[in-house]
Chain A
Amino acid sequence: MDNKHKICLVASAGGHLTQLLKLSDCWKDREVFSVSTLDSAVQKIQEFGRFYIIGECNREHPWQSLRVLKNCIRVIIKERPDVIVSTGAGPACLLCIVGKLLGAKIVWIDSIANVERLSMSGRIIRPLANLILSQWPEVAKKYKSVYYAGNLL
């Protein structure tokens, strides 16, 4: 077994993180670290070892996004993950973009909240993602190279 790839798990605090945690079995015996957006997430992610809190941002607050982007760059340069796995949202999308620029593979599982179409983050990340899944078959059908494998919740 070759489990040498370093995996970065990233999700916004709240429902996004709840979904990512449902995949915990995937990371057994692999090197992982995790990233979330608020201190309230620490209790949930510390079991995976080292973690980073990059702050919250959204499209309404461009200045916060710059601060989060700076944190994303810092994390990626320090850790150089081989794979980034995310369930969203915006800040995770930023981390994925920075990671992709430095050669990481992207696995994006769009949040189950998006019942009609991919989230905005999902649509941005789609051309960059190596694997992108929706949790609704009808949504997956709307896009080339978006797949449905099951639902986390």
Chain B
Amino acid sequence: MIFLTVGTLFPFDRLVRAIDDAVETGVIDQPVFAQIGKTSYTPRNMDFTESLDKLTFDKKVTDAAYIISHAGIGSITIALEQKRPLLVMPRLKRYKEHVNDHQVATAKEFEKLGHILVAYDTSDLPESIRQLKTFIPKERKANPEAVADRIRCFLDSLRD
């Protein structure tokens, strides 16, 4: 199963429609479950829901062979933590998919580090979907303890 998730803040019809088309044309040859947010496009070739509670969302991620999503940090994080190959397409401001184009920069950086695959436009999707099947994401090392230490240090410096 492929899990498609686009968050809920803004619509992302462009990706939802492209993945629905990819199922129809056989570019995607397995079932897709999609979390599509508030979109005006109704998928014809995959099961979908507007949003998911945390437990169901986590279950979809662990059940999925691959994940396709917008370039939101929430999606990137969970895919990396659950070691699921992830293909993202960044939201773009010119299609009113976000307030700016920061998802492009985020996607580029995580792509450069070998963590994810990126399709910058729908025309890249067929090739990216093919690559996804053999993609092994590079593990990401985070150090939240170091950030926590810095903040604890600040909090401890506050007296009275």
Chain A residues with CB under 8 Å of chain B are: 2, 5, 7, 14-19, 22-23, 25-26, 30, 38, 40, 43-44, 56, 58-60, 82-83, 85, 105, 107, 109, 111-116, 119-120, 130-131, 133, 135, 147, 149-153
Contact = CB atoms under 8 A, between A and B. Distances in A.
A30 B145 CA distance: 17
B7 interface: yes
B110 to A, nearest CB: 8
Interface of B: 7-9, 51, 53-55, 72-78, 80, 96, 99-100, 102-103, 105-106, 108-109, 140, 142-152, 154-155, 158-159
B142 A153 contact: yes
Given A15-B77, A111-B73, A149 B155 contact: no
B114 to A, nearest CB: 15
Contacts of B72: 14-15, 113
A15 B143 CA distance: 17
Given A19-B73, A113-B106, A149-B150, A40 B8 contact: yes
A33 B151 CA distance: 17
Q: DSSP majority for the A interface? A: loop
A15 B74 contact: yes
B126 to A, nearest CB: 27
Given A14-B74, A83-B158, A147 B142 contact: no
Given A38-B8, A113-B102, A83 B155 contact: yes
A90 B42 CA distance: 30
A27 B33 CA distance: 37
B8 to A, nearest CB: 7
Given A44-B54, A60-B99, A115-B106, A153 B151 contact: no
20 contacts: A17-B74, A18-B73, A18-B74, A25-B145, A26-B152, A26-B155, A30-B155, A56-B9, A58-B9, A107-B151, A109-B147, A112-B73, A113-B102, A113-B106, A114-B102, A150-B142, A150-B146, A151-B142, A153-B76, A153-B77
Contact of B144 (A5, A82, A152): A152
Given A15-B74, A113-B73, A22 B150 contact: no
Contact of B155 (A5, A14, A151): A5
Contacts of A112: 73, 106
A39 B105 CA distance: 29
Nearest to A41: B54
B59 to A, nearest CB: 14
A95 B152 CA distance: 21
Given A40-B51, A120-B100, A149 B146 contact: yes
